[in-house]
Amino acid sequence: MAPSAITPESSGTTTPTTAQASTLTQAGIKHHNGDGDALAPLDASKMTITLSTSPRDVPPMNSPEVMAQKTCTDHMVTAAWNETTGWAAPELKPYGPFSIMPSASVLHYATECFEGLKLYRGHDDRLRLFRVNKNCERMRRSCARIALPDFDAKELEKMIIALCARDGPKWLPSDRKGSFLYIRPTMISTDPALGVQRPKEALLYVIIALFPDMSKSLATPAAPPALAGDAQPKKATTGLKLLASTEDTIRAWPGGFGYAKLGANYGPSLVAQGEARARGFDQVLWLFGPEASVTEAGASNFFVVWRNKETGKTELVTAPLQERIILEGVTRASILELARERLAPGKAAGALEGVEVVERKFTMADVLAAHEEGRLVEAFAAGTAFFVAPVGLIHYKGQDVEIPMGAEGESGDYAKVLKGWLGGIMYGKEAHEWGVVVDEVKA
């Protein structure tokens, strides 16, 4: 097996870079070893297990450590890959630092991608994942875009489930019903060759972090004082306050990689995001092109509900996937599916009016017109991290667009009912195929 940039922590010594006879790989083409055997596939059934000998106490959820999003559970799962042998056996082992060469591809060329999903402690006391298969399939598409190796999505799913089954009982115990842990599958290239080229070595890993519930905290962020002279939101609202991006900061572009969950989409957004927060906003509303198409809110998908000017019908609208500049959100897809199934005109329950579900390009001019003409019903951001978060205000070109937040000022009705349905599936109130029960490993 070829030497890897990932070396055991316990070696404790300086590891020199070593020679490796490399073989040329054709992009995207599976190849074989010299002896005619196929490269080893990712295989969760080969997973080795090494339990932590120094398990930690679970810190309180309101501790600074958890609020700072730095706490991970006792274990992680890793699987190393290289171009000549394929996937090594996955390892479930104690969470801890990697040893990585300063020349590693991931540190220079952003050869990295990730996923984000949650483990839920149900009100019925069972642990569940939500549509984990969709995250694993999207991870494959992200890997393909950033020249990282492919794998069977089902095997990654098994690795995630194994880790959740192991650490879930302790880190998300029965007394935290209705709460979650955050799961972060990641792939990085550990290839120590400094040349700009397709990586020959990679590491797939899964970690689990304790996150505060940002769908609540974000509505009242601890934003630093706004700067004098800068645009500031007119007044405190209960929903998310979004600052529309300007033409000098564009998140993604057709022919780029906005659809994939690459590190390269996130780091370059941090300056704009930091400026928005310093000015008292929660997130950037990412616009695109001279017509100011509305694409994403922060790292979430964006939805608006309005009454169509021509038809008078109520519509739930979000940006389409065709141009590949927005992320194919799992929450996005689930909201669209539920709305089509349960909120179609004639089907909507109670006082709610049915909605037409529309995936299409829409612009800030469309939003402003709906606002001015009293047709704007509500807006919300949706994604795994922030779940379904009502939007209360958009600041665009010097103007504050206030968005209705429902009768109690907490949330529009559609966001509320969709959030309720999704939460019901996640936390086991509703039996649904999207909720994947994890059988816990008993200590």
Residue list 235-274, contact with a copy of itself (CB under 8 A)? 247-250, 253-257, 262-271, 273-274
Which tokens hold the place of 38?
Answer: 């196929």
Nearest to 52 by CA among 96, 95, 94, 91: 94
Applying CB under 8 A, does 278 fall inside the site for a copy of itself?
A: yes
Q: Is 374 in the site for a copy of itself (CB under 8 A)?
A: no
* Interacting residues with a copy of itself between 71 and 90 (CB under 8 A): 71-72, 76
Closest CA to 318 of 298, 296, 338: 296
Spatial separation of the C-alpha atoms in residues 195 and 214, rounded to whole Å: 40
Among residues 21 and 349, whose Cβ is nearest to a copy of itself? 21
Q: Does residue 320 touch a copy of itself according to CB under 8 A? A: no
| Contact positions with a copy of itself (CB under 8 A) in 5-34 | 5, 7, 9-10, 12-22, 24-29
DSSP secondary structure letter of residue 116: -
Among the residues of 343-439, which ranges form H helices?
A: 364-372, 413-426
Binding mask 203-242 for a copy of itself (x = CB under 8 A): --x-x-x-x----------xxx--x---------------
Minimum CB distance to a copy of itself smaller for 179 or for 308: 179
Q: Which of 44, 92, 111, 317 binds a copy of itself (CB under 8 A)?
A: 111
- What is the spatial distance between Cα 75 and Cα 169, in angstroms, rounded to a whole number? 13
The answer for residues whose C-beta is within 8 angstroms of residue 300's C-beta and 6 or more apart is: 283, 329, 331, 381, 382, 383, 385, 386, 389
Q: According to CB under 8 A, which one of 34, 35, 36, 54 is a site residue for a copy of itself?
A: 54
Q: Which helix (H) or strand (E) holds 171?
A: helix 153-171
Which of 122/268 has CB closer to a copy of itself?
268
Q: Six-digit token pair at 259?
A: 């659809």
**Smaller CB separation from a copy of itself, 277 or 395:** 277
How many Å from the N-terminal Cα to the C-terminal Cα in the chain? Answer: 35
- In a 3-state reduction of DSSP, which class is residue 244? strand
State the Cα–Cα distance between residues 82 and 198, nearest whole angstrom: 12
The residue among 74 and 413 lying less far from a copy of itself, judged by its C-beta, is 74
| Three-state secondary structure of 3-41 | CCCCCCHHHCCCCCCCCCCCCCCCCCCCCECCCCCECEC
The tokens for 325 are: 């500049």
What's the gap between Cα 325 and its chain centre?
15
Q: Does 97 bind a copy of itself (CB under 8 A)?
A: yes
Q: Which is nearer to a copy of itself, 112 or 157 (CB)?
A: 112
Residues 314/354, Cβ–Cβ less than 8 Å: yes
Residue number with CB closer to a copy of itself (258 or 435): 258
Could you say which of 102, 173, 374, 409 contacts a copy of itself (CB under 8 A)?
Answer: 102
Residues 173-202 that bind a copy of itself (CB under 8 A): 182, 184, 186, 188, 192-199
Size of the site for a copy of itself (CB under 8 A): 104
Of 71 and 135, which CB lies nearer to a copy of itself in the complex structure? 71
Segment 395 to 434, residues that bind a copy of itself, using CB under 8 A:
none
Place of tokens 């608006």: 304
Distance CA 368, CA 401 (A): 7
Task: Tell me if 63 contacts a copy of itself by CB under 8 A.
Answer: yes
- Toward a copy of itself, which CB reaches closer, 144 or 358? 144
CB of 226 to a copy of itself, least distance (A): 9
Query: Of residues 141-160, which lie at the interface with a copy of itself (CB under 8 A)?
Result: 144-147
- The dihedral built from the CA positions of residue 321, 426, 65 and 222, taken in this order, carries a sign that is positive
State which of residues 84, 99, 133, 238 lies at the interface with a copy of itself (CB under 8 A): 99
Nearer to a copy of itself, 102 or 345 (CB): 102
Footprint of a copy of itself on 292-311 (CB under 8 A) = 298-299
Q: How far is the CB of 324 from a copy of itself (least distance, A)?
A: 9
Interacting residue with a copy of itself among 62, 68, 312, 349 (CB under 8 A): 68
Minimum CB distance to a copy of itself, residue 47 (Å): 17
Q: Which is nearer to a copy of itself, 12 or 346 (CB)?
A: 12
Neighbour-count burial for 237-253, b at 16+ CB within 10 Å, e otherwise: bbbbbbbbbeeeebbbe
Decide if residue 136 touches a copy of itself (CB under 8 A): no
Compute the distance between CA of residue 358 and CA of residue 348 in angstroms, rounded to an integer: 16
54: number of Cβ within 10 Å:
7
Cα atoms found within 13 Å of the Cα of residue 334, Cβ hemisphere only: 28
Residues 37, 65, 341, 439: which binds a copy of itself (CB under 8 A)? 65
Return the number of the residue (276 or 370) whose C-beta is nearest a copy of itself: 276
| Residue list 344-363, contact with a copy of itself (CB under 8 A) | none
